[in-house]
Chain A
Amino acid sequence: MSTLGAVATLRATETGHAERLTTVRHAHVDERPFVLVPLTLAGEACAPLAALCGTDPGRPTLLTVRQPRNRAERFRFVERLAALLLPHIEECRTSETEPYTVGRGADKEERRRSLRAPQLLVPGGESIAYVRLLGRLTRLRALEGPHAVDPSVPALGKWLTWFADRAEFPGSCLLQAMTRLLSAHWATGQSAAEDSHLAALLSWIDPPDRLTGAEAAREAEDPQRFPPAGPATDVVFDQTLYDLMSRYDEAGDDHGREAVGRQIDRELYGQMLPTWDLMWRGVDLLLRLPEGGHVAERWTYDRRLFTEFAAYLDDDGRPQARRDHAVGAARRLARLEEAMARYDAERAFDDPLVMAEYELTGEAFTGVVVARDEDRFLPGARPLWRPTITVRSDLPVRLTAGKEIKCPARAGQKAEIVEVAPEGDGSTVVVQLNGGFNRARKPPAPPGMLAEVGETVTYTSVDPKSMPFALPAEEDTPWTHGGPPRPYEPTDEDAEEIWE
């Protein structure tokens, strides 16, 4: 957490209400996200127990497994989940498309991407881990042989794995955890560990009348009113469930079994419904925030990746490997780092409250333009037009002469620091503008392209458009690194898992 975040937390303990960490929303939130509240059976590796899911807040679909020890029942659950999620994905895939270009020059290529992509929302980080595990459990299943499953099972598995992979990338909104989304935008007066409790977190942000966030959060910890958001279940509830499941197994006839089964369904529904409602309250709160400037661009990239993966499934369709090969892992790490840097920079450009953190660390400064030299030319055989502006900042500026900087208000304009001079508590900075005048080569600058005297401007050394570190293409992996990796071939062993 940043120092500004820590201060916001301190202020929240004072007021008893959550404090905003941002001025805008930095995540794409769909008007119609697919919300999934999963529960798993305690003690087992990813034994699906129940889920409440759908895209309509008023009409969640209940999926339950009345006897999770039964392998067939577990896969019936996956089939039913697939029957809900796969059509939703298909709907996005067959939605309208738009053209876009990749590369430039001779490599230029026209492609199309869907205008819609599915967004999967789960309560917390542990539910993302559950989605990953459920993907791993199902994507390698065989369609023939002794443990054959329905074709929709591995199909769902591949999608879930893809969602979980993308969830690791900062800025990607295809699969998001509600607690993460909320705590990225609000600071509460409690610890991060307590913030992972969805009900308590929402209580800080949006407490009921007559209560402070702090009081409401304490009340929200009562598992009777707000059962754990999952996928782990409440221990006390497990005892109830255990008794019911034992009665289900021992029921004398189908009629009796069905009666107990319905009771199991009711109990599970009661455990998940509060979380389901909280999820939509979170969606609502997030949608009320204005969207940050780069959010649409990042969602566009998500839509492009969605279209590409859908095409991959149509063309090739092999499931993701159990593990990344070395080359793939290295590339993935590089991409993750690049995504992190870009996401951080974009957020700072979109949001002065996020930029404030860079001001505090000395990677940015804000001040008032006190002078400008529009007619400045650099001497030389062909004099170059390089106007300057002089910025007076109230805080000391720690960036030094020669540093390349950019201004969020004119993101296309390149600039560099010519001189920094201390003045009183703050500094005076002379900034040379190296372009971004709509191709003008001599004064006057096109209107609005050059900051006016009296205007407040922010400059930073952080750049969302900085070029990522390039790795050679996968097929050009040198022999010293094992040569091009071989694509993953699923083996019989992958599907061969004993379920007892």
Chain B
Amino acid sequence: MGYEPRFGQSPFAIAREQAFEALVKWGGYAELIRLLRDQLAVPVDEAGVTDLTEVGGDTNPARRAAETRSLLARLASGNDERLILDRPLLTLEVAGQTAYLEPQAVTHRVGGKFYVAEIRSFPAIDGQTNPTAVAQTAKQAAVSVLALRRTFEQLELDPAQIAHEFLLICPKDFSNRPYGRLIDLRQELDALRFQLTRLRRADDLALALPPSATLDTDREEGELDFSVGALDAFYTPGCLSFCEMARYCRDEATACASPARLGSTVRNTLPGVDSTRTALAYLGDIHAPGLTEAAAVDRLRAADRLRQLRRGDVA
């Protein structure tokens, strides 16, 4: 569609991530087990690990998900087996579709609870990590925890066995040594449950589209453009940092002068005004604001007048 996404990961970052994950799992997952012992006071017994990236040479997601379920059922139903699941595959209904999730590891039961573990290659320097990166990881972990709970419910097991904390593993300081901390997920879990109930089903979204609509990227640009244009977009500047469609939506937002494209602070000074062109027309006294906008517009007009008065001879 003429909007080349500028995302992807640097080969350096990928190499680093793989190297760190390999290190955590090296020597029979020695580092992972050490961190579990440190953070969760796991008894010193040896633990077994099942690698679920494939099941008997089969990498089919459905097969892996089924294997994960049966292993979880076995572990949760009382058999005191010390088994860590490496890359289990979980499923979760999102907007009417089945999504597959792959947490890095789920621990065996510790004190009656199962824990999700996530391995990341951003560093913890003097015990502090990049808050954005942690928040992102926590969000992912919360989705896994939720998926685990749903799985337990389906298996008629007690979902309270899933811990509402997860183990974050990242390199310590400037070295490669793994470092781990438990992070509480209750807030993320609440937010996530709320968001999932509000998500519109993909089927419903599709119904609103004209019958000829397509999202097939091999089709003609005009056709694709038409279909994407028919979908509602809620662009904010934050989209630029992660969404491949952000530049497309930004052009759309600029074309219709959406205040949200200028960021939330500007947006918040314009309550009830859905276009910057309208706002400017209010300032120029071309339009009279309605009752709901009057207070905000009065303030804007006062600010605009003060700006003109105090600018002096500044260009």
> Which A residues form the contact surface with B (CB < 8 A)?
1, 3-11, 13-14, 20, 23, 41-46, 133, 136-137, 189-194, 223, 233-236, 238-239, 241-242, 322-323, 352-353, 355-356, 359-360, 395, 497-500
Report chain B residues within 8 Å CB of A10. Answer: 266, 276, 279-280, 283, 300
Contact A360 B262, beta carbon cutoff 8 Å:
no
Q: Which of A10, A137, A192, A395 has the most CB of B within 10 A?
A: A10
Contact B237 A3, beta carbon cutoff 8 Å:
no
The CA-CA distance from A7 to B310 in the complex, in Å, is 14
Contact A192 B10, beta carbon cutoff 8 Å:
no
Contact B307 A7, beta carbon cutoff 8 Å:
yes
Given contacts A45-B173, A192-B263, A500-B176, contact A323 B126 (CB under 8 A): yes
B191, CB-defined interface residue at 8 Å: no
Checking A7, A42, A499 against B300 with a beta-carbon cut-off of 8 angstroms, the contacting residue is: A7
Q: Could you tell me the distance in whole angstroms from the C-beta of A91 to the nearest C-beta in chain B?
A: 31
Q: Could you tell me the distance in whole angstroms from the C-beta of A186 to the nearest C-beta in chain B?
A: 11
Contact B283 A7, beta carbon cutoff 8 Å:
yes
Report chain A residues within 8 Å CB of B240. Answer: 193-194
Report chain B residues within 8 Å CB of A353. Answer: 307, 310-312, 314
The CA-CA distance from A190 to B126 in the complex, in Å, is 36
Q: Which residue of A lies closest to B122 (CB)?
A: A45
B192, CB-defined interface residue at 8 Å: no
Given contacts A223-B6, A497-B173, contact A9 B12 (CB under 8 A): no
Chain B residues numbered 1-60 whose CB sits less than 8 Å from any CB in chain A: 6-17
Q: Could you tell me the distance in whole angstroms from the C-beta of B254 to the nearest C-beta in chain A?
A: 9
Q: Which of B12, B269, B304 has the most CB of A within 10 A?
A: B12
B257, CB-defined interface residue at 8 Å: yes
Give the number of residues in B that approach A within 8 Å (Cβ atoms). Answer: 52
Q: Could you tell me the distance in whole angstroms from the C-beta of A74 to the nearest C-beta in chain B?
A: 10
Q: Could you tell me the distance in whole angstroms from the C-beta of A498 to the nearest C-beta in chain B?
A: 4
B217, CB-defined interface residue at 8 Å: no
Instruction: Give me the 9 closest cross-chain CB pairs, A-B, nearest first.
Output: A43-B13, A45-B123, A43-B16, A191-B237, A42-B10, A191-B263, A238-B10, A193-B237, A6-B269
Can you list 29 A-B contacts with CB-CB less than 8 angstroms, sorted by A residue number? A3-B303, A7-B304, A9-B262, A10-B266, A11-B304, A13-B280, A23-B312, A23-B314, A42-B12, A42-B13, A45-B122, A45-B123, A45-B125, A189-B262, A192-B237, A192-B263, A192-B265, A193-B237, A238-B11, A239-B10, A353-B314, A356-B309, A356-B310, A360-B302, A360-B303, A360-B306, A499-B174, A499-B175, A500-B175
Q: Could you tell me the distance in whole angstroms from the C-beta of B151 to the nearest C-beta in chain A?
A: 33
Contact B237 A194, beta carbon cutoff 8 Å:
yes
B186, CB-defined interface residue at 8 Å: no
Checking B13, B238, B257, B315 against A20 with a beta-carbon cut-off of 8 angstroms, the contacting residue is: B315
The CA-CA distance from A9 to B283 in the complex, in Å, is 13
Given contacts A133-B125, A353-B310, contact A45 B174 (CB under 8 A): yes
A-contact bits for B115-145, CB 8 A (1 contact / 0 none): 0000001110110000000000000000000
Q: Could you tell me the distance in whole angstroms from the C-beta of B119 to the nearest C-beta in chain A?
A: 14
> Which B residues form the contact surface with A (CB < 8 A)?
6-17, 121-123, 125-126, 171, 173-177, 237-238, 240-241, 257, 261-263, 265-266, 269-270, 276, 279-280, 283, 299-300, 302-304, 306-307, 309-312, 314-315
Report chain A residues within 8 Å CB of B309. Answer: 356
Report chain B residues within 8 Å CB of A239. Answer: 10-11
The CA-CA distance from A411 to B123 in the complex, in Å, is 49
The CA-CA distance from A481 to B238 in the complex, in Å, is 42
Q: Which residue of A lies closest to B238 (CB)?
A: A193
Contact A43 B15, beta carbon cutoff 8 Å:
yes
Q: Which residue of B lies closest to A17 (CB)?
A: B315
The CA-CA distance from A408 to B262 in the complex, in Å, is 33
Given contacts A42-B10, A43-B16, A322-B126, contact A4 B306 (CB under 8 A): yes
Given contacts A13-B257, A23-B311, A498-B177, contact A190 B11 (CB under 8 A): no
Q: Which residue of A lies closest to B18 (CB)?
A: A43
Checking B237, B241, B306 against A359 with a beta-carbon cut-off of 8 angstroms, the contacting residue is: B306
Report chain B residues within 8 Å CB of A14. Answer: 276, 280
Q: Which of B121, B261, B263, B309 has the most CB of A within 10 A?
A: B263
Report chain A residues within 8 Å CB of B276. Answer: 10, 13-14
The CA-CA distance from A128 to B62 in the complex, in Å, is 47
Checking A3, A45, A352 against B310 with a beta-carbon cut-off of 8 angstroms, the contacting residue is: A352
The CA-CA distance from A43 to B13 in the complex, in Å, is 4
Contact B10 A43, beta carbon cutoff 8 Å:
yes
Report chain A residues within 8 Å CB of B171. Answer: 45
Report chain B residues within 8 Å CB of A43. Answer: 10, 12-17, 121
The CA-CA distance from A264 to B73 in the complex, in Å, is 54
- 17 extra A-B contacts, CB within 8 A, seeds A6-B300, A45-B173, A241-B12: A1-B265, A3-B269, A4-B306, A5-B265, A6-B303, A7-B307, A136-B126, A234-B6, A235-B7, A235-B8, A235-B9, A238-B11, A353-B314, A355-B310, A360-B299, A498-B175, A500-B176
Q: Which residue of A lies closest to B171 (CB)?
A: A45
Report chain B residues within 8 Å CB of A241. Answer: 12
Q: Which residue of B lies closest to A352 (CB)?
A: B310
Q: Which residue of B lies closest to A351 (CB)?
A: B310
The CA-CA distance from A62 to B84 in the complex, in Å, is 49
Contact A137 B11, beta carbon cutoff 8 Å:
no
Q: Which residue of B lies closest to A44 (CB)?
A: B16
The CA-CA distance from A209 to B144 in the complex, in Å, is 53
Report chain A residues within 8 Å CB of B126. Answer: 136, 322-323
Report chain A residues within 8 Å CB of B176. Answer: 498, 500
The CA-CA distance from A408 to B241 in the complex, in Å, is 43
The CA-CA distance from A37 to B8 in the complex, in Å, is 24
Given contacts A4-B307, A13-B257, A192-B237, contact A497 B174 (CB under 8 A): yes
Report chain B residues within 8 Å CB of A235. Answer: 6-10
Q: Which residue of B lies closest to A233 (CB)?
A: B10
The CA-CA distance from A497 to B302 in the complex, in Å, is 58
Q: Which residue of A lies closest to B268 (CB)?
A: A6
Report chain B residues within 8 Å CB of A500. Answer: 175-176
Q: Which residue of A lies closest to B7 (CB)?
A: A235
The CA-CA distance from A241 to B10 in the complex, in Å, is 10
Contact B302 A190, beta carbon cutoff 8 Å:
no
Q: Could you tell me the distance in whole angstroms from the C-beta of A173 to the nearest C-beta in chain B?
A: 22
Q: Which residue of A lies closest to B279 (CB)?
A: A10
Report chain A residues within 8 Å CB of B270. Answer: 6
Q: Which residue of B lies closest to A223 (CB)?
A: B6
Q: Which residue of A lies closest to B16 (CB)?
A: A43
Report chain B residues within 8 Å CB of A497. Answer: 173-175
The CA-CA distance from A6 to B268 in the complex, in Å, is 9
Report chain B residues within 8 Å CB of A4. Answer: 303, 306-307
Q: Which residue of B lies closest to A214 (CB)?
A: B254
Q: Could you tell me the distance in whole angstroms from the C-beta of A254 to the nearest C-beta in chain B?
A: 25
The CA-CA distance from A323 to B125 in the complex, in Å, is 11
The CA-CA distance from A361 to B287 in the complex, in Å, is 25
Report chain A residues within 8 Å CB of B17. Answer: 43
Contact A356 B307, beta carbon cutoff 8 Å:
yes
Report chain B residues within 8 Å CB of A137. Answer: 174
Q: Could you tell me the distance in whole angstroms from the C-beta of B90 to the nearest C-beta in chain A?
A: 27
Report chain B residues within 8 Å CB of A7. Answer: 283, 300, 303-304, 307
